[in-house]
């Protein structure tokens, strides 16, 4: 038997409970002390179309998904046809016997055909065919020998919100599906999932990137969020809104994305820590307002969660194609800071750190995430979200005492750092004007070339100061004496990290250099890593290799190999290694 190293895929049409069932199973496995990683692949339509949820569980920490599937749970014939080739030797396919699938049509290689009467059990035991997905999830626990009590706990928590009757019905259906699969198929299935004893499961949580980012923003003292719903950023807005009254946050759903950023700029001007969230299409609409924030030197945070473009593209697929756009968005030249978290924990840190950077440099800060990072579920120890490390830095913010001593308040004072003293409106000596037109130190509109030059140079000096004082170097993981150095950013990191580990086991020395602070680009801090590398391999979810362009432009370093993917699907470790073999022409 092979225990606690397993991938499960659940597939069917939208509306069949694929995502909710997968998320429930993910939580149940984590309750048993297992590390889990789960993600959804779904179409943008509300009903119909093929969706799947893929879950990986293990004793050791898992950072991404794996291509080989050990157990496929199919709600439709189409699911079997689409994914049968992914099932590992001696794996199994659980499916509703009502589908009428011929067991002889299974893919061979010792794959077990396991028909289970999902629908029949749901109707006869629970009284509702909608409970078929509950039956299927419990059957997965049954065939793998996993503790049913963990399944029961999750079902009770999920369905008690509706009613005791609904919860009892789902638990009864789950018990029946669990028994059926365990008694009929468990003995012939070689893969096992077992709860790990000795771990306090309450010390571990299941979280996605958007939830972590929202938690970080709230920990930073965010007091205002405005947004127009847009996949995949909406859950940031939803999470903060759900806790708004508890933490004294004003939440505003606006008529469009332009208004959302303008509302946030207004709140930032008034002294609140303010943000908005959107995806690429919404960010396109925000760019004029982004310039206003830069010109008026108003701190504001924008969480931009990337999806496939251009235009509507794939609304529910992942991509990393907005990096160069985020760096240069808005007409003219203006300062902004761009950071790109790569893990759930980094999303939490980015959530609070972005506000510090925005207020310190009095400019927009863009948190550049992506769909895969924003929505995948991952188990992490609670201490990895360390609230004690949250620091509040409000920059050159004048206190009441400072203002009492002040005789001449120049809101846009020219300084060596590019950052001017800032006062929250309301004090008699903090009265000032500002404008989206070019202006002088007092904020009055001007037309002369000399003042224009001084103010432009002042604002752009913020980037030099930030690069020197706050932009972090890339992080290195793996063999320091590697023959191959992968470069990446964002959610790609999980797959590349595991690729490095797999390559090491095969005798190939590799490491990964991950960039999180992308603009202003930390050239001098990155240069030692780049110059030491022997063979540079960039891995990105875009067509043009935008990180590679940035490094070439800023550090005059070219990539030896580019591994690029733009299908809207994330990389797997196996795919990264296969591309390295093909592109770099090495035997792995």
Q: What share of the chain is helix, strand, coil (3-state, %, to 5)?
A: 45, 20, 35
Domain boundary (199, 225, 251) is at 199
Token pair in block for residue 496: 């590349």
Pair (256, 338) in one structural domain: yes
Q: Are residues 193 and 303 in the same domain?
A: no
Residue 421 lies in a domain: yes
Asked if residue 443 is part of any domain, the answer here is yes
pLDDT in tens, 278-335: 999 999 999 999 999 999 999 999 999 999 999 999 999 999 999 999 999 999 999 9
Whole-number Å distance between alpha carbons of 213 and 204: 18
As a whole number, mean pLDDT of residues 171-180 equals 98
DSSP character at residue 425? B
Instruction: Note whether 159 and 14 are same-domain residues.
Output: yes
Where in the sequence is the domain holding 462, given as residue range(s)? Answer: 400-469
Average pLDDT over residues 552-568: 97
Give the domain CATH number at 351: 3.40.50.970
pLDDT at residue 434 tops 80: yes
Same-domain check for residues 504 and 370: no
Which CATH number goes with the domain that contains 104? 3.40.920.10
CA distance 566 to 540: 9
pLDDT beyond 80 at 377 = yes
Q: For residues 136 and 267, state if they share a domain.
A: no
Kindly report the CATH number assigned to the domain that includes residue 556.
3.40.50.920
Tell me, yes or no, whether 395 lies in a domain. Answer: no
358 and 413 inside one domain: no
* 406 to 360, 361, 412: CA distances (angstroms): 20, 21, 15
Are residue 17 and residue 153 in the same domain, yes or no? yes
The two tokens of residue 358 are 């925005």
pLDDT value for 586: 76
107 has a pLDDT exceeding 80: no
Reading the block at residue 488, the tokens are: 């990446």
Give pTM, 2 decimals: 0.95
Q: What is the maximum span of the chain, computed from C-alpha positions, in angstroms? A: 88
Question: Does residue 462 belong to any structural domain of this protein?
Answer: yes
Q: How many CB atoms lie within 10 A of CB 39?
A: 25
Could you read off the pLDDT of 395-414 as tens digits, one per residue? 999 999 999 999 899 999 99
Beta-carbon count within 10 A of 113 CB: 17
**What is the CA angle 99-83-316, rounded to 5?**
105
Say if residue 152's pLDDT is above 80.
Answer: yes
- Is residue 303 included in any domain, yes or no? yes
Domain membership of residue 572 (yes or no) is yes
What is the DSSP-derived secondary structure letter of residue 107? -
Rounded to an integer, the average pLDDT of 98-111 is: 84
- The answer to whether residue 62 scores a pLDDT higher than 60 is yes
Contact yes or no for 299/356 (Cβ under 8 A)? no
Question: b/e for 232-255, b at 16 or more Cβ within 10 A?
Answer: bbbbbbbbbbeebeeeebebbebe
Listed residue (346, 321, 327, 370) closest to 491, CA to CA:
370
- Say yes or no: 168 and 222 in one domain: no
Instruction: Look at 339 and 160; give whichever has higher pLDDT.
Output: 339
Final residue of a structural domain among 155, 172, 199: 199
Average model confidence (pLDDT) for the chain?
Answer: 95
The span from the first CA to the last CA of the chain, in angstroms, equals 28
| Average pLDDT, integer, range 57-84 | 95
Is 8 domain-assigned?
yes
Q: How many structural domains compose the chain?
A: 4
Q: With the C-alpha atoms ordered 562, 567, 571, 572, is the resulting torsion angle positive or negative?
A: negative
pLDDT tens for 187-246 read 999 999 998 865 556 678 999 999 999 999 999 999 999 999 999 999 999 999 999 999
Same domain, 265 and 292: yes
Please give the pLDDT value at position 203: 77
Last residue of a domain, one of 349, 364, 389: 389
Q: Are residues 382 and 411 in the same domain?
A: no
Residues 225 and 347 in one domain: yes
Both 219 and 299 in one domain: the answer is yes
């Amino acid at each position: 038997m092979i225990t606690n190293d397993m991938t499960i895929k659940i597939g069917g049409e939208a509306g069949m409970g694929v995502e909710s069932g997968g998320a429930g199973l993910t939580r149940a496995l984590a309750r048993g002390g297992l590390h889990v990683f789960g993600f959804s692949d779904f179409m943008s339509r509300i009903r119909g179309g093929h969706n799947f949820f893929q879950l990986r569980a293990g004793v050791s920490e898992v950072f991404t998904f794996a291509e080989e599937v050990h157990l496929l749970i199919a709600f439709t014939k189409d699911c079997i046809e689409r994914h049968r080739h992914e099932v590992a030797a001696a794996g199994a396919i659980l499916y509703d016997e009502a589908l009428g699938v011929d067991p002889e049509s299974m893919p061979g290689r010792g794959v077990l055909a396991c028909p289970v009467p999902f629908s029949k059990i749901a109707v006869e035991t629970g009284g509702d065919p909608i409970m078929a997905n509950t039956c299927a999830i419990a059957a997965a626990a049954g065939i793998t020998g996993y503790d049913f009590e963990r399944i029961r706990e999750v079902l009770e928590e999920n369905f008690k919100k509706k009613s005791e009757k609904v919860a009892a019905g789902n638990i009864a259906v789950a018990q029946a599906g669990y028994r059926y699969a365990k008694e009929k198929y468990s003995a012939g299935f070689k893969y096992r999932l077992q709860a790990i004893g000795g771990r306090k499961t309450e010390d571990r949580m299941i979280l996605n990137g958007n939830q972590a980012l929202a938690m970080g923003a709230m920990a930073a003292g965010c007091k205002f969020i405005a947004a127009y719903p847009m996949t995949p950023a909406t859950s940031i807005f939803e999470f903060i809104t759900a806790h708004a009254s508890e933490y004294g946050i004003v939440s505003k759903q606006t008529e469009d994305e332009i208004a959302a950023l303008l509302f946030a700029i207004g709140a930032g001007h008034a002294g609140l820590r303010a943000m908005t969230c959107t995806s690429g299409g919404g960010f396109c609409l925000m760019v004029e307002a982004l310039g206003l924030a830069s010109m008026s030197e108003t701190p504001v945070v924008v969480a931009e969660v990337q999806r496939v473009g251009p235009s509507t593209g794939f609304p529910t697929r992942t991509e990393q194609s907005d990096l160069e756009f985020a760096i240069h968005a808005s007409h003219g030249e203006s300062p902004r800071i761009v950071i790109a978290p790569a893990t759930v924990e980094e999303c939490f840190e980015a959530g609070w750190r972005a506000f510090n950077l925005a207020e310190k440099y009095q400019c927009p800060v863009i948190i550049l995430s992506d769909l895969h990072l924003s929505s995948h579920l991952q188990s992490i120890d609670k201490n990895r979200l360390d609230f004690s490390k949250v620091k509040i830095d409000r920059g050159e913010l004048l206190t009441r005492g400072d203002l009492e001593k002040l005789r001449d308040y120049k809101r846009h004072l020219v300084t060596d750092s590019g950052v001017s003293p800032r006062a929250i409106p309301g004090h008699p000596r903090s009265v000032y004007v500002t404008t989206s037109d070019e202006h002088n130190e007092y904020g009055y509109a001007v037309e002369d070339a000399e003042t224009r030059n001084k103010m432009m140079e002042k604002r752009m000096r913020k980037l030099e100061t930030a690069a020197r004082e706050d932009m972090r170097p890339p992080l290195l993981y793996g063999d320091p004496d590697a023959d191959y150095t992968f470069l990446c950013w964002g959610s790609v990191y999980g797959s590349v990290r595991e690729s490095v580990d797999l390559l090491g086991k095969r005798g190939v020395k590799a490491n990964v250099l991950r960039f999180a602070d992308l603009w202003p680009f930390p050239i001098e801090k990155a240069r030692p890593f780049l110059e030491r590398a022997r063979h540079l391999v960039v891995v990105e979810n875009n067509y043009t290799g935008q990180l590679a362009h940035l490094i070439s432009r800023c550090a005059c370093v070219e990539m030896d190999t580019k591994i690029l993917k733009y299908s809207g699907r994330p990389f797997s470790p196996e795919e990264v290694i296969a591309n390295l073999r093909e592109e770099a022409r090495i035997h792995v």
